[in-house]
Amino acid sequence: MVDHGYVLPTRGIVLDSDGAQDQLARTQSCSTLARAAESMGFESVWAGDSVLAKPRLDPLSTLAAVAAATDAIELGTAIHLPHLRRPVAVAQQAATVDLLSGGRLSLGVGVGSGESVATEHEQLDVPFDRRGRVLDETLDVIRGLWDGAIATYDGDFVTLENADIGLRPTGDLPIYVASATFDPRDGYPKQIRRRIADHGDGWLPISKSPEMYADGIDHAREIVADAGRDPSPFDAAYYQDVVIAETRRAALDQARDFIAAYYPEWGELSDEQLERRGAFGPPSAVAEHLERYAAAGVETFVTRFATTDQHAQLRRFRELL
């Protein structure tokens, strides 16, 4: 059984709005879209993250509002950059959202890349060249605070003494390890291997072929098993961009406009570069794409509709399923 998640357009609120009142209306539409996704049978909704590089709504605050507006749909971050904040605050905020939602929260985490992300780290006083290690210490602290297992921590970037947030998530709050820039058939970078071994409850990559994905998820579960943990609940997730249109050309044109506004530093992407990120075209083509990735082992699709008409894409996507 394959699950489907929907990425809320929290970045679009900044890109497409015209003044504060328009931002207010678009912000409130996130809860409306989440309710629509739930009513259509989507299993989860997700929110992305950036503070300065790609401004948007804060993901955990957004998911707290979505939790209040929905009944049972799962909530996730795709992806969160917790190392850009103080870890105690992240642990408290995530535990709060998990408790408010009745245990529906998962955290997809990563480090980000690119010139604007490097500048963002500099402005937030986080060493960009060591951001992976900062993230790992942040995850160590967050997990420890959730479990009540640490009150004191002395790392390279984080120091705590007699710290206890007093809140405990309702269960084992899952952490998904995101990745984008390497071919898992060549093995995982050391830091990603360690992150999966220590903290990973799932893998959430993007821009992987089905063959790359199949090898990658097998290897990720081997890492979990070698760490002495049960790999069977380790979730095989996949982040993808999708546009459903009457033709491939129309879908790619919509996606190109969206990506150009979203990531202006990338320049114009070719059709081939766009199609490495997901599926673009008529419903039959998108359905074939989903079948290929499900056959490669994907259990949870996390789908961002790379266009402005989110309601129409939600309906069309659900119809093809």
Number of structural domains the chain divides into: 1
Residue 197 lies inside a defined structural domain of this protein: yes
In a domain, 320, yes or no: no
Q: Average of pLDDT values for 292-314?
A: 97
In a domain, 250, yes or no: no
262 found inside a domain: no
Look at residues 66, 69, 64 and name the one whose alpha carbon lies nearest to residue 45. Answer: 66
Quick one: pLDDT at residue 315? 97
Q: Is residue 317 part of a domain?
A: no
CA end-to-end distance (rounded Å), the chain: 12
- Domain range for residue 9? 3-240+290-309
Lowest-confidence pick of 20-34, 129-143, 212-226: 20-34
- pLDDT score of 183: 92
What was the pLDDT predicted at 149?
77
Per-residue pLDDT tens over the stretch 137-191? 999 999 999 998 777 899 999 999 989 999 999 998 999 999 988 899 999 999 9
Indicate if the pLDDT at residue 17 is higher than 90.
Answer: no
d(CA 255, CA 271): 10
Q: What is the mean pLDDT of residues 25-47?
A: 96
The pLDDT, as a whole number, for residue 132 is 97
- Please list, in sequence order, all residues whose beta carbon lies within 8 angstroms of the beta carbon of residue 243, skipping any fewer than 6 positions away: 251, 252, 254, 255, 258, 280, 281, 305, 306, 307, 313
Q: How confident is the model at residue 267 (pLDDT cuts 50, 70, 90)?
A: confident
Output the domain CATH number for residue 161. 3.20.20.30
Taking residues 22-51, what's their average pLDDT? 95
Confidence at residue 67, expressed as pLDDT on a 0 to 100 scale: 98
**Whole-number Å distance between alpha carbons of 60 and 77:** 8
The whole-number average pLDDT for the span 276-287 is 98
| Residues sharing a CB contact under 8 Å with residue 309, sequence separation 6 or more, in sequence order | none
Is the pLDDT reported for residue 255 higher than 90?
yes
Whole-angstrom distance, CA of residue 44 vs CA of residue 3: 8
Structural tokens at position 175: 């952490």
Residues in contact with 312: Cβ distance below 8 Å, sequence separation at least 6, in sequence order: none
b/e for 64-80, b at 16 or more Cβ within 10 A?
bbbbeebeebbbbbbbb
Q: Report the length, in residues, of the chain.
A: 321
* pTM of the complete model beyond 0.85: yes
18 pLDDT higher than 90: no
Residue predicted with more confidence, 113 or 131: 131
Is residue 182 domain-resident?
yes
pLDDT of amino acid 1: 86
Inside any domain, residue 269: no
The pLDDT of residue 150: 76
**Any idea which of 6-15, 29-38, 249-258 has the lowest mean pLDDT?**
6-15
| pLDDT tens track for 71-121 | 999 999 999 999 999 999 999 999 999 999 999 999 999 999 889 999 999
Distance CA 233, CA 116 (A): 35
Per the domain annotation, does 259 fall within a domain? no
The answer to whether 218 and 187 are in contact (CB under 8 A) is no
- Rounded to the nearest 5 degrees, what angle is found at the Cα of 304, between the Cα atoms of 293 and 169? 90
Per-residue pLDDT at 16 exceeds 80:
no
Strand pairing class (159-160; 153-154): antiparallel
Residue 45: both structure tokens together: 């909704």
Q: With bands split at pLDDT 50, 70 and 90, how would you rate the model's confidence at 225?
A: very high
* Among the ranges given (19-33, 48-62, 167-181, 218-232), the one the predictor scored with the smallest mean pLDDT: 19-33
Name the average pLDDT for the chain.
95
Q: Output the pLDDT for position 165.
A: 95
Band of residue 21 on the pLDDT scale cut at 50, 70, 90 = confident
Question: What does the pLDDT read at residue 96?
Answer: 98
Residue 271: pLDDT band with limits 50, 70, 90: very high
- Which of 150, 151, 109, 148 shows the shortest CA–CA distance to 131? 109
Map 31-78 to HEC letters.
Answer: HHHHHHHHHCCCCEEEECCCCCCCCCCCHHHHHHHHHHHCCCCEEEEE
